Structure 1
Amino acid sequence: MFKRLLRIYHTLKYLKPVQFYFRGFYFLRNKIFGNNLKFVSYPIDKKSDLPLLEFPKSRVSYKNIADFEFLNFSKKFKSFRNIDWNYFEFGKLWCYNLNYFDFLLQQDLSKEEGLKLINDYISKAEVLKDGLEPYPISLRNINWIKFLTIHHISNKKIDSFIYSCYLHLLKNLEYHLLGNHLLENAFSIFMGSIYFNDEKLYERAKRNLKTELTEQILDDGAHFELSPMYHHILLERLLDSINFAKSSTEFEDQTFLDFLSKKAEVMLSWMEKMKMSNGDMPLLNDSGLEIAKSADALIEYAQSIGVTASENTILKSSGYRKYKSPNWELITDAGKPGPEYIPGHSHADIGNFILYNNNKPFIIDPGISTYEKNGRRNLERSTEFHNTVVVDAKNQSDVWGGFRLGKRAEVKILKESGSYLKLSHNGYKSICGDHIREFQFSDTLITIQDVLSIGSRNCSAIAYFHLSKSIKIVDKGTDEISFDNGVIMKFANAISIDVEKYNCPDGFNSYITCDKLAVHFNKSLETQIF
């Protein structure tokens, strides 16, 4: 009981007062007064046509009539009338995706099919559950507005439903969560304000966007939750907002447009800096395959609306560092797990790294496959699931409950130069002192030094290296391993080297069996990769 209370204390002590207030306020309000969607009729003559540019197409998730596929799970309903918008058999995230309506923007969906789906959804408004939560409302309204604008559809019933959802959203803004959720709320309201020519919505959204973008976009351009996947998602939303703002004749606010554009420029620059040379998005923290738009697609979209990346971005405040040579590309994580008060997408992975050889993945961060609160989710956030050191089978930081983070490691960058980085963290201070990791990078050799500052033979330390699915081991000695791509890894002071199998996520709810190295050592380990 005491350990549980201590964990809860270390989890809650970082939260902001506003999170406590709104969690309590919403709970009591909903219990006493309820929180039902109230339908209002919107006067359609207030709207104006928006000459918007094309938007990036969505991945195909609507396969056929009433047939959907999200997160590698498929469900075909009998007909339009039988679509269950509360379908929960595949979990909450699948149901969320069903309610986002992202499929309205896929390449092959017709205007008529899209309208059937929208009208069916509205006809079932009284029984909707997850779809009336603030986050799905935010994303669905954006997708509906884009669809209606692209097809020049003016429909009072649909517009009234969208507007009613915005009024509901305004009463349920996600101040209890903050972070990307509150930012998505603001992006959606901003686009809705331009679509409806609504000054009150516009001023509210502008105020929230100024506050949240100022806080959430770091000096080096990273989104502060430090997930490349969410960075891509939020960058697309920011570009959408710029697209809407440029099309508006009602709200011509050059100062605010310049503010949005500058944030987009630094976000673009960070994304370009972080993407691998073959275009891959690094799967750091909560990042998975086939969720966000690719870097190349976002760069093309930005250029189409006149936004270009800032020059000379240096990775700094995000904690990520990147080193590149003709044959090698390495990204390492020398930053804290994430923002203290919203660490739900953070992992226990200080010192983690990704390594590509000749533009192909060699040592990878496996990424994620689920948001369900289960053992798999806990594993994918754990130190063991990353390319760093585990001591006594413990996590550096206490990841738990799917999206919780209790007592957390503090990280320091001790020294760095153009090709050298030395960092430490105190996640194991009660066991073996600080874990100190050094990276020395050159065109032909990568050296990693791991030291436990008060290590002893009583500490069980393991350095993990997760191999890409394309990598095969061709020879294993006592201190050296060679691979089919010609790379050799050599270890000094290793007690033993084990080759283990792991289930590498291949998107959500899909896995490939790959190899990982578990290198056992006591106080220090030197790894050479050449």
Structure 2
Amino acid sequence: MYLNHYYYVNLTKLKLIYNTVKHLRFKQIYFRLFYAVRNKFFKRTYSKNLPTGVKSINWENKVLYSESYLGEERFNFLNIEHDFQSQINWNYNDYGKLWTYNLNYFDFLNQENFVREQGIALIEDYIKQDVELKDGKDPYPISLRTINWIKFLSQNKISNQKINQTLYNHFQILLHNLEFHILGNHLLENAFALFFGGIYFNDKKLSSTASKLLKQELNEQLLEDGAHFELSPMYHKILLHRLLDCIYLAHQNKKSVSSEFIVLLEAKAIKMLSWLQTVTFNNGSIPMVNDSAYKIALSSAQLFTYAKQLNLKWSVTELRDSGYRKFSNETLEVFMDVGKLAVDYQPGHAHADTFSFVYHSKNNSIIVDPAVSTYEINKIRERERSTGYHNTVTVHQQNSSQVWSGFRVAKRANVKLELDTPTKIIASHNGYKGCTHTRTFNLDNDILNIHDKIEPDENGEAHFHFHPDCSVQLIEDEKLIVNNIEMTFFDYNQLKIEDYHFANGFNTTIIAKKVVVLFTEKVRTEIKVIS
């Protein structure tokens, strides 16, 4: 009996791995193996002598980060504050890898009212521990840190040979460990950093690699409607911010960048701005779909202001290949996900949220995506990526796509878009074993009708998550009054009002209300603005 169970468990795990790995590109698999073998058997020192007298570049911070360094070796990242007392441990990992990464990004160098001398002292302390650094030597934190150091050094006209040499050495690590095994936003961040390094050090190798990667990855990663292909609005904003920084840097140092390349960067930024303008709600917020967390990226308004300072002009666009759609009029806004999970070979930031939606009425958030509060591989991460934690339908409490192990996806729901008009959308997916879920969104003035059908007949549960500020009242067992909207359900079996954890940022949640509608075969939900 035990042996049979052992084989069953291992066969299930093998299927899970196979259905995950089969979507990867050959390059990802090759470089994962190559880096593993090389780093185990061929240790190398990444250092290259830097000529004396690095010339300063033109830079002035247009956007400042929120405060994360609180003074006297105290930091606050991801809503967790830590006091190092007398000595900073740059490898400190008691709060998880993402907290350690944030410590090593050095965003605080470019926060408001940051003291020049304090920044130099922190960099010098970091350099003293350079040999002992662990997570800080990973390519992703190197990418963000090197940009932050260059901004800080250039803004403050600091020329320090020891700092510059360490910075240059870290660029050598990055250059030889580009994240081809991950691709996606990680590789794009590598390219942005090399672009900064190439201009700062007037280094042809860094510049040529950056140019090649940026052309390649911006073409690859930006969809036709302007969305970043990992389909997280938060990461879209982070990458747009970095792209605007590169455009500003190029304009300030035109001798180092060709006019043709600047035109390319600006064209890509305009596409990203148009998409962001389209998905941003009237109250300035974004739909927190897939891996999106509060208080991480700049606001849409900040990015639009920055772009205007760069004389970029854009307009709203038509949402298409991102798989997102939006209904809007004077009283309501509805953001819907009727597309594929994400790009096939990098769905690490995707959730099992097919056909989920977000609903705003008169600039107020009513039906929301619960967002994320952790990247740690645990039950909370599992829950926040699950189908039942989104505004869509579950069958037998399954996930519509097999999200697992924090950032993995095995089998994915395949979506068929059957009707796509400005006021009516019909789509179906096959994410549940043995049945098909079809959802219809139909907007008629101030009334949104949602029809859900499962074929062949199955029991389903429709989930609706409300913003923590919402008041939820059940009327006559079939109707909800939620702030200024009325929700009526037809052909259902049972209504349940439950608590859920709304993620108000990393490591912080608020108890809010959700409704679960139990039904067989079909259910209709009518959402109407009543005041």
Q: What TM-score, normalized to structure 2?
A: 0.96
Spell out, residue by residue over 1:246-298, the C-alpha distance to the aligned partner (whole angstroms, 9 max, x if none): 12243241111111100000101101111111101210100000000111111
1:312 shift after superposition: 4.6
* Counterpart for residue 63 of structure 2: 56
Q: Distance in 1 between matches of 2:245 and 2:254?
A: 16
* Counterpart for residue 40 of structure 1: 48
Q: Do residues 14 (structure 1) and 23 (structure 2) align?
A: yes
Q: Distance in 2 between matches of 1:274 and 1:392?
A: 32
1:35 shift after superposition: 5.0
1:482 shift after superposition: 1.5
Q: Distance in 2 between matches of 1:360 and 1:473?
A: 14
1:75 shift after superposition: 0.6
Query: In the alignment, residue 442 of structure 1 is paired with which amino acid?
Result: D
Q: Do residues 246 (structure 1) and 251 (structure 2) align?
A: yes
Task: Write out aligned runs for 1:319-358 (5 A).
Answer: 319-358=323-362
- Give the ranges of 4+ consecutive aligned residues of structure 1 lying more than 4 Å apart after TM superposition: none
* Counterpart for residue 445 of structure 2: 443
Alpha-carbon contact 1:365-1:466 (below 8 Å) kept:
yes
Q: Do residues 292 (structure 1) and 297 (structure 2) align?
A: yes
Q: Distance in 2 between matches of 1:260 and 1:44?
A: 31
Q: Distance in 2 between matches of 1:146 and 1:44?
A: 20
1:98 shift after superposition: 0.1
Q: Distance in 2 between matches of 1:143 and 1:83?
A: 19
Query: In the alignment, residue 420 of structure 1 is paired with which amino acid?
Result: K
Query: In the alignment, residue 443 of structure 2 is paired with which amino acid?
Result: F
SS of residue in 1 equivalent to 2:256: coil
Alpha-carbon contact 1:40-1:161 (below 8 Å) kept:
no
* Counterpart for residue 130 of structure 2: 125
Query: In the alignment, residue 63 of structure 1 is paired with which amino acid?
Result: L
Q: Do residues 502 (structure 1) and 513 (structure 2) align?
A: no
Alpha-carbon contact 2:284-2:301 (below 8 Å) kept:
yes
SS of residue in 1 equivalent to 2:255: coil
* Counterpart for residue 4 of structure 1: 13
Percent identical:
43
Q: What TM-score, normalized to structure 1?
A: 0.96
Identify which range, 198-207 or 214-223, moves more after superposition.
198-207
| From 386, 391, 404, the counterpart of 2:395 | 391
Query: In the alignment, residue 275 of structure 1 is paired with which amino acid?
Result: T
The CA RMSD over aligned residues, in Å, is 1.1
Q: Distance in 2 between matches of 1:249 and 1:43?
A: 22
How many residues align? The count is 519
**Please, which runs of 5 or more residues in structure 1 have no aligned partner?**
none
Spell out, residue by residue over 1:472-523, the C-alpha distance to the aligned partner (whole angstroms, 9 max, x if none): 123332211122x231100011100000001111100101000000000010
Alpha-carbon contact 1:386-1:466 (below 8 Å) kept:
yes
* Counterpart for residue 316 of structure 1: 320
Q: Distance in 1 between matches of 2:506 and 2:41?
A: 38
Alpha-carbon contact 1:480-1:489 (below 8 Å) kept:
yes
Q: Do residues 167 (structure 1) and 172 (structure 2) align?
A: yes
Alpha-carbon contact 2:323-2:340 (below 8 Å) kept:
yes
Q: Do residues 404 (structure 1) and 404 (structure 2) align?
A: no
Q: Do residues 376 (structure 1) and 383 (structure 2) align?
A: no
1:133 shift after superposition: 0.4
Query: In the alignment, residue 439 of structure 1 is paired with which amino acid?
Result: F
| From 47, 69, 72, the counterpart of 1:65 | 72
Q: Distance in 2 between matches of 1:73 and 1:291?
A: 14
Q: Do residues 476 (structure 1) and 483 (structure 2) align?
A: no
* Counterpart for residue 109 of structure 2: 104
Spell out, residue by residue over 1:371-430, the C-alpha distance to the aligned partner (whole angstroms, 9 max, x if none): 0001110111110010000000100000000000001110111101111111111101x3
Q: Distance in 2 between matches of 1:52 and 1:97?
A: 23
1:169 shift after superposition: 0.6
Q: Distance in 1 between matches of 2:299 and 2:403?
A: 28
| From 191, 204, 207, the counterpart of 1:199 | 204
Q: Distance in 2 between matches of 1:222 and 1:244?
A: 23
Q: Distance in 1 between matches of 2:240 and 2:42?
A: 37
Spell out, residue by residue over 1:415-468, the C-alpha distance to the aligned partner (whole angstroms, 9 max, x if none): 01111111111101x33x21100001133201000011211xxx3310000000
SS of residue in 2 equivalent to 1:250: helix
Specify whether residues 73 and 359 from structure 1 end up closer, same or farther in structure 2 by C-alpha distance, changes over 3 A only.
Answer: same
Alpha-carbon contact 2:68-2:108 (below 8 Å) kept:
yes
Specify whether residues 3 and 252 from structure 1 end up closer, same or farther in structure 2 by C-alpha distance, changes over 3 A only.
Answer: closer
Q: Distance in 2 between matches of 1:486 and 1:138?
A: 46
Alpha-carbon contact 1:502-1:514 (below 8 Å) kept:
yes
Alpha-carbon contact 2:47-2:172 (below 8 Å) kept:
no
Alpha-carbon contact 1:221-1:270 (below 8 Å) kept:
yes
Specify whether residues 460 and 93 from structure 1 end up closer, same or farther in structure 2 by C-alpha distance, changes over 3 A only.
Answer: same
Alpha-carbon contact 1:222-1:267 (below 8 Å) kept:
yes
Alpha-carbon contact 1:398-1:408 (below 8 Å) kept:
yes
* Counterpart for residue 219 of structure 1: 224
Alpha-carbon contact 2:377-2:406 (below 8 Å) kept:
yes
Task: Write out aligned runs for 1:137-216 (5 A).
Answer: 137-216=142-221
